A and B are shown apart, each in its own frame.
Chain A
Amino acid sequence: MSEALLEMESPTTEEANGVTEETSIVNGNGLDAEALERGDLLAHDGVPAALISMRDIWRTYEMGTEKLHALRGVSFDVQRGEYLAIIGPSGSGKSTLMNLIGCLDTPSQGRYWINSKLVSEMEDDELARIRNQEIGFVFQTFNLLARATALHNVELPLIYAGVSAADRHERAQRSLRAVELGDRMTHRPNELSGGQRQRVAIARALVNNPSILLADEPTGALDSKTSIEIMNLFEKLHSEGNTIIVVTHEHDIAARAHRVISIRDGNIESDERIK
């Protein structure tokens, strides 16, 4: 991170991480030259077919006159049905990467596709729609609405998707039953245990059939026994075909995934398939 703080140069002239200037050159069809060279699957007109495609992603924060590069040209793909862990120490840039994957933020430079949609160029409200339809968030601190019942919390994404009340109830109930909380629907978060709250959050994340289940330190606020339960649930969800990305700094959590991307100082340190 100290290197990052000292890094003042423009990201495009950065040679150290092996990215040449040509990588960001895009031809008239929106074709990414490097992606073509790497032989990525292309659905049409140069748009990657992978569920997630990140190409030379930079995220630069301006701290007064200094520029802080949290991400320095990250590129990777995630296919449908993958179970991916992103691991790295604090300050490595993994939170920044998670915010970008979750479309809560946009990159300073580079291109990012979800489901063949170029989200790196999107405006706020388009991103909101992508978050609603493509992403299911699971947070470390659950982030449930305190005054709302479990059922209503799970319905929340459907409300913003414009689903009618009857459909919403039905789908939210199904989602809660899927995380074995069918008997806790009318409970409020303060009437639930930590593990139950996280399961409500997972039900909420899944209710609108997102492309990606994106979890940020999902066991960070749970005891080890409950953590195992939640991780087992993730495994079950993965086996049912969900794409799962878990961001964590704990190696034993990352070890449950099938692929681990390790981030350090804003770069991908390693990208390994472990199962």
Chain B
Amino acid sequence: MSALLTEPVEERRGDAPGGFEPLPPAPPRARRTRLPPAFHKTWESLRIALGSLRANKLRTALTLIGVVVGVAAVIAVVTIIKGLDQTVASTFSSQGSTVFTVSKRPQVITSREDFIKFNRRKDVTETDADAVTRLCNACWRTGVAANAQATVKAGDKSSESVRVRGLTLSMFLIEDTDVVAGRAWTDTEEASGRDVAVVGPDVVDNLFDGAPPDQVIGRQVRVEGRAYEIIGVTERLGKIFGFSRDNFVQIPYPTFKKAFGARVSLIVFVQVPEQPQLVTAEDQVRNIMRNRRGKTFHDEEDGFALETQDVFIDLYKSATANIYLVTVGVAAVSLVVGGIVVMNIMLVSVTERTREIGVRKAVGASRRDVLLQFLIESVVITSIGGMMGVAAGFILAFGLAKAMGFPLLFSVASAVLGVSVSSAVGIASGLWPAWKAARLDPIEALRAE
């Protein structure tokens, strides 16, 4: 046997000293190591895969497009929606889930029938608000808001569709309004119905050319012919879904009554100290209001809307669920197309490398070894595509987040998902070509050109 390649004779056959060389016993076999053989084979497959990808850079790049697009779409949308989630959550929790409202109509109306029905309801009045304040002992703060839309003017400038809100002073506490310049109005100013206003920064931008907030204190704005002295400017809250939250004029509720009349349905805001008390307070307020509407427990209808800010979150969630659905569809289509492209390339690769497969089989590669080699190659292609897709998706989301102004949250879970889904595509599309390669007859394969 090959003394040439084995250990020195003395070592190999200990007690049989040199000279005459008898037929050796069974030759030493491949030494097994602690790592399982599958490890070495897998490593080899990985090397081959990377080598053949390097050798066909353009082909690899073209192959990857489908997978990259699919994964990028998912990552971009997931990242953007995560960012929006954060914005929405922080926006609505500024009032938090310690606040609920009583109003004539719900804040979200989804059909014309509902709109007509809600419009027939009794207005929520000052006496309703008083009753809630007086009778609900679980309630901590109550406030009243009356809303209108109007054109606001200052000098020769005017701004249309500004939200004009008549508020009780407690609303500043409930809404946690931050007055950055000037002050809120006093109890006396409210009680006597003075013409004072706390305006949002958009009003300053639009009517005073964005002058610093403290320079507009004392200036006047006119709403429907009535002049108000600006006594405060609030902190900028920014936009949500493209709508500004800073375009408003807040005036004391008694003043609002004088200017816009008393026949406006109010929104009663109720705040509890801690979230767990919310349900108790809601029950009390519902009972108080149902009594005032003359409802017994036989009546299904309340005749008013009692809501927390969760309605917005629910609405938002149902909207984003649809976006997710569409994205998953787009991603699925491009991943399927990408998978077919990968399968095609793998079939080409198997054909091109028929002779190599023959050589590998001749030196001892089993069907399983060949199958694994091509499967790993296919998975390597698609998972590289997946990683590129994750990167592209994050870059896309980063750009959009910058443009639309919301925080960017990189989700590790979505990155992992992107890469694992693309690897799964690799397995699915590599299986048939790999099986074809594994089944090749070594004689035929060695004869291939």
B279 → A minimal CB distance (Å): 66
Residues of A contacting B442 in the complex (Cβ-Cβ under 8 angstroms):
104
A240 touching B4, Cβ below 8 Å = yes
B40 touching A165, Cβ below 8 Å = yes
B40 touching A164, Cβ below 8 Å = yes
Q: Flag B416-444 by CB within 8 Å of A: 1 or 0 each.
A: 00000000000000000000000000110
User: Does B18 make an interface contact (CB < 8 A)?
Assistant: no
A157 touching B364, Cβ below 8 Å = yes
One of B35, B356, B363, B369 near A137 (C-beta < 8 A): B363
User: Does A161 make an interface contact (CB < 8 A)?
Assistant: yes
A128 touching B361, Cβ below 8 Å = yes
* Residues 28 to 56 of chain B near chain A (Cβ within 8 Å): 28-33, 35-38, 40-41, 43-44, 51-52, 55
One of B2, B30, B37, B369 near A242 (C-beta < 8 A): B2
User: Does B360 make an interface contact (CB < 8 A)?
Assistant: yes
B1 touching A242, Cβ below 8 Å = yes
User: Does B23 make an interface contact (CB < 8 A)?
Assistant: yes
User: Does B3 make an interface contact (CB < 8 A)?
Assistant: yes
Q: How many residues of A contact B (CB 8 A)?
A: 49
Say which one of A8-16, A203-211, A247-255 lies at the interface with B: A203-211
User: Does B290 make an interface contact (CB < 8 A)?
Assistant: no
Q: Considering the chains assembled together, what is the distance between the CA atoms of A133 and B28 in angstroms?
A: 10
Residues of B contacting A178 in the complex (Cβ-Cβ under 8 angstroms):
4-5
User: Does B27 make an interface contact (CB < 8 A)?
Assistant: yes
A239 → B minimal CB distance (Å): 10
Residues of A contacting B257 in the complex (Cβ-Cβ under 8 angstroms):
none
Residues of A contacting B366 in the complex (Cβ-Cβ under 8 angstroms):
124-125, 128-129, 160
Residues of A contacting B365 in the complex (Cβ-Cβ under 8 angstroms):
128, 160
A80 touching B364, Cβ below 8 Å = no
User: Does A158 make an interface contact (CB < 8 A)?
Assistant: yes
User: Does B82 make an interface contact (CB < 8 A)?
Assistant: no
Say which one of A36-44, A167-175, A260-268 lies at the interface with B: A167-175
B2 touching A160, Cβ below 8 Å = no
User: Does B368 make an interface contact (CB < 8 A)?
Assistant: yes
One of B6, B27, B51 near A211 (C-beta < 8 A): B27
User: Does B21 make an interface contact (CB < 8 A)?
Assistant: yes
Residues of A contacting B2 in the complex (Cβ-Cβ under 8 angstroms):
206, 209, 237, 240-242
Residue of A nearest to B446 (CB): A143
A-B contact pairs, 23 of them (CB 8 A): A104-B362, A105-B443, A131-B362, A137-B362, A147-B51, A158-B30, A160-B366, A161-B364, A162-B30, A162-B32, A162-B33, A162-B37, A163-B31, A164-B40, A168-B40, A171-B5, A174-B5, A204-B363, A209-B6, A210-B27, A211-B1, A237-B2, A241-B1
Give residues in B with beta carbon < 8 Å to A: 1-6, 21, 23-24, 26-33, 35-38, 40-41, 43-44, 51-52, 55, 355-356, 358-369, 442-443, 446
* Top-9 shortest CB links A-B: A162-B37, A132-B364, A161-B30, A164-B33, A160-B364, A209-B27, A128-B366, A157-B363, A125-B366
